[in-house]
Amino acid sequence: MRILGIETSCDETAAAVVTGEGEILADVVLSQLAEHRPFGGVVPEIAARAHLEHVDRLVAEAMSRAGLGYAQLDAVAATGGPGLIGGVMVGVATGKAIALAAGKPFLAINHLEGHALTARLTHKLAFPYLLLLASGGHCQLLAVLGVGEYRRLGSTIDDAAGEAFDKVAKMLDLGYPGGPAVEKAATSGDPARFALPRPMKGKPNCDFSFSGLKNAVRLLIAALPQPVTRQDAADVAAGFQAAVAESVADRTRRALAEFRTRWPDGTGLVVAGGVAANGALRQALIAEATAAGLPFIAPPLKLCTDNAAMIAWAGVERFRLGLTDGLDFAPRPRWPLDPKAAPLKGAGVKA
């Protein structure tokens, strides 16, 4: 089995070809960091235009690296949502066109399912397992029970962790993307110098919140002598990073306890998404997984951030089960993995 995957949900244009055995024949990613860096975040219109400009070339490059013609594919998979709708539309239209021209089935992949199933591509992990998905757009704890079968245990009621990293980096003028910039600054900082809140710590559910922490950092920076010195910035970054790690560890600890009770045959704690690259967060999560008696699993960094190999692999998993989509599929800006989950409650919940 050979599946072409296309990913255009945010600010990476990507194409990949993956086999049914999990061999990545090609994996091409074009980052748009330079285009968005002047704005300190992703600009949807710029992202969509960049996808439109580059996606055909990247697909052709992936097929060339894989040494395949379109007739040798078994199916074409493209991210159908959630994400920035302009970019999602570009990828879906491209995938449909290739599928139609080549006479192959089309698969619309939930971007979050791509992240959720990556551990099965890289580690052959059996169901069920607990997933922490932490990125610029998402922060969720999900029990992954099977393909298309997910139970949300917790989610953010306002900002995602990656979004908070980006905003704090912008406040401190550390550069973009914010995650690596904050982590780098924090290496020379004192995390105990400033008292920052640990949002949601000790709460009875498994939900996250980062807007209050982000605002506390904003007020802290405003109260410092201006301009902020390099050491002040490092101390703020270290304190913020420690607060995020402690908060996420607390939420994950509660989710692990619930997961182990409901699914005692669980196989691991998986972390995915760009925030999974943060070393302080990883160490905190390794400790929680160890305490819960589960292995900690993190796919290679290039497969944690947005990529098309995960989309192609999710296509493999779905195609095996006969789960294909019609060419009338409509791109979705929002697409929850657990549509039966109770609505989130909070002042910052995005509709």
Q: Where are the domains of the chain?
A: 2-116+303-320, 127-301
Global pTM? 0.93
No. of helices (H) and no. of strands (E), the chain: 11, 10
Reference 297, options 338, 269, 337; nearest CA is: 269
14 touches 308 (CB < 8 A):
yes
What's the Cα-to-Cα distance from 251 to each of 66, 242, 338, rounded to whole Å? 41, 14, 19
User: What is the per-residue pLDDT for 351?
Assistant: 40
Residue range 2-116+303-320 forms a domain whose CATH class is alpha beta
Task: Indicate the average pLDDT of the chain.
Answer: 94
* pLDDT confidence tier of residue 33, bands split at 50, 70 and 90: confident
User: What is the per-residue pLDDT for 301?
Assistant: 87
Structure letter (DSSP) for residue 32: -
Mean pLDDT of 300-310: 92
User: What is the per-residue pLDDT for 275?
Assistant: 87
95 touches 56 (CB < 8 A):
no
User: What is the per-residue pLDDT for 319?
Assistant: 98
User: What is the per-residue pLDDT for 277?
Assistant: 85
User: What is the per-residue pLDDT for 345?
Assistant: 67
The secondary structure of the chain in percent helix, strand, coil, rounded to multiples of 5, reads: 45, 20, 35
Reference 249, options 295, 294, 205, 281; nearest CA is: 281
pLDDT 10s digits, 176-216: 889 999 999 999 999 999 999 999 999 999 999 999 999 99
Do 127-301 and 2-116+303-320 fall under one CATH topology? yes
CATH topology classification for 127-301: Nucleotidyltransferase; domain 5 (3.30.420)
Task: List CB contacts of 49: < 8 A, sequence separation 6 or more.
Answer: none
SS3 of 182, please? helix
SS3 of 17, please? strand
Question: Before 227, cis peptide (omega within 30)?
Answer: yes
CA dihedral defined by 259, 315, 328, 350, rounded to 10 degrees?
40
